[in-house]
């Protein structure tokens, strides 16, 4: 396994370098995106337009030599525009399935919260079970399959709130944010002649990603660290400022994300710091604060920080 991990780490470093060449100054966000991919999870990026969300996603698809499709969500988008449709062929008297853009390795659902809730629900089966059902027939999605959705802040005009059931199927939610002045200066100088995305070369293939995903499952999670992780998610269900706590699905997502992050950090075991780092991104979009907490100025981040502080970190664990 050590030999496999060394090979995996070199592959991951190449992907990370590729992404960093396209999106400057976003080291943590790049690590989060790679973590979700290796853990087999989906990502929701909430940000204002123009911060580089689409560029980051395209760079990832190009780096792993994966198929890439994009859906521009709007109120007129239908569920069949995503999943595909069966078309009757009069000559052969049979229905032929015309696959939709969801039949890909990496799917970008751009501005997902501009689509209606009915259309958004068409993604639920694919996100959870990795297949779609059209007219009673089930079709498996390519492997690996990763949904990366972008959404505008909910106070933007023409946006719909994502249902809680769909939010819970996203492993992570995070933002890129604006770059600092130095990074923005480097960005405009780097892109004044040619965009880095145009010169980006694949560094791994989709089969290698599948192999690394299998290695992630082998990363060791000690019983003491597992108990700590469970204690964190359970504390969200007991905290006085939280109306809706993290679900068991969130606990499982945090486990897989922690294992993937450990591998990225060149370890074959999870440590509590992996969990602490991931908590805001894995649990943040899954909890709802009470009205009283919001009125007192509490935020999801501040409440989760309080949750983590209240849970005792294990002193010893097996590596």
- The pLDDT, as a whole number, for residue 1 is 53
pLDDT at residue 47 greater than cutoff 70 = yes
99 and 139 in contact (C-beta within 8 Å)? yes
More confident residue, 80 or 166: 80
Give the lowest-confidence range in 137-141, 175-179, 227-231, 236-240: 175-179
Give the lowest-confidence range in 113-122, 169-178, 269-278: 113-122
- The pLDDT, as a whole number, for residue 234 is 94
pLDDT at residue 37 greater than cutoff 90 = yes
- The pLDDT, as a whole number, for residue 160 is 67
pLDDT at residue 154 greater than cutoff 60 = no
Give the lowest-confidence range in 67-81, 160-174, 293-307: 160-174
Long-range pairs, 95-99, Cβ under 8 A, ≥24: 95/135, 97/134, 97/137, 97/139, 99/139
pLDDT at residue 155 greater than cutoff 60 = no
Residue 202: CB atoms within 10 Å: 15
Q: Cis peptide before 227, with omega less than 30 degrees from 0? A: no
| Whole-prediction pTM | 0.89
Give the lowest-confidence range in 40-44, 48-52, 210-214: 48-52
For residue 137, list its beta bridge partners: 134
Mean pLDDT of the chain, nearest integer: 86
**SS3 per residue for 68-121:** EEEEECCCCCCCHHHHEEEEEECCCCEEEEEECCCCCCEEEEECHHHCCHHHHH
**Domains of the chain by range and CATH?**
2-208 (3.40.50.300), 220-310 (1.10.8.80)
What SS3 class is residue 266? coil
pLDDT at residue 255 greater than cutoff 80 = yes
Residue 96 to residue 88: CA distance in whole angstroms: 6
138 and 131 in contact (C-beta within 8 Å)? yes
Mean pLDDT, to the nearest integer, of 122-129?
A: 85
For residue 72, list its beta bridge partners: 110
Mean pLDDT, to the nearest integer, of 188-197?
A: 72
pLDDT at residue 4 greater than cutoff 70 = no
199 and 58 in contact (C-beta within 8 Å)? no
Helix axes 300-310 and 272-283, enclosed angle (nearest 10): 150
- The pLDDT, as a whole number, for residue 159 is 64
């Amino acid at each position: 396994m050590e030999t496999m991990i060394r090979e995996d780490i070199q592959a991951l470093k190449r992907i990370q370098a590729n992404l960093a060449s396209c999106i400057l100054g976003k080291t943590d966000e790049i690590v989060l995106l790679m973590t979700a991919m290796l853990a087999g999870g989906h990502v929701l990026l909430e940000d204002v337009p123009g911060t580089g969300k689409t560029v980051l996603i395209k760079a990832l698809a190009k780096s792993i030599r994966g198929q890439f499709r994009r859906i521009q969500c709007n109120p007129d988008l239908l569920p069949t525009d995503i999943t595909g449709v069966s078309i009757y062929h009069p000559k052969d008297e049979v229905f032929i399935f015309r696959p939709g853009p969801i039949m890909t390795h990496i799917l970008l659902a751009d501005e997902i919260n501009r689509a209606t809730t009915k259309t958004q629900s068409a993604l639920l089966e694919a996100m959870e079970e990795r297949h779609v059902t059209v007219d009673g027939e089930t079709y498996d999605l390519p492997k690996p399959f990763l949904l990366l959705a972008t959404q505008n802040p909910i106070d933007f005009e023409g946006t719909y709130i994502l249902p809680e059931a769909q939010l819970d199927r996203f492993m992570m939610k995070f933002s890129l944010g604006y770059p600092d002045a130095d990074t923005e200066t480097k960005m405009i100088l780097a892109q004044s002649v040619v965009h880095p995305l145009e010169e980006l070369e694949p560094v791994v293939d989709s089969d290698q990603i599948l192999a690394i995903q299998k290695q992630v499952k082998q990363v060791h999670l000690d019983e003491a660290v597992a108990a700590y992780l469970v204690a964190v998610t359970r504390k969200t269900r007991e905290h006085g400022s939280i109306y809706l706590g993290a679900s068991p699905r969130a606990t499982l997502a945090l486990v897989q994300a922690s294992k993937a992050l450990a591998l990225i950090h060149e370890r074959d075991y999870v440590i509590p710091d992996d969990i602490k780092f991931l908590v805001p991104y894995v649990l943040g979009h899954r909890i709802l604060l009470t009205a009283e907490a919001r009125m007192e100025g509490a935020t999801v981040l501040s409440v989760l920080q309080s949750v983590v502080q209240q849970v005792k970190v294990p002193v010893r664990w097996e590596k």
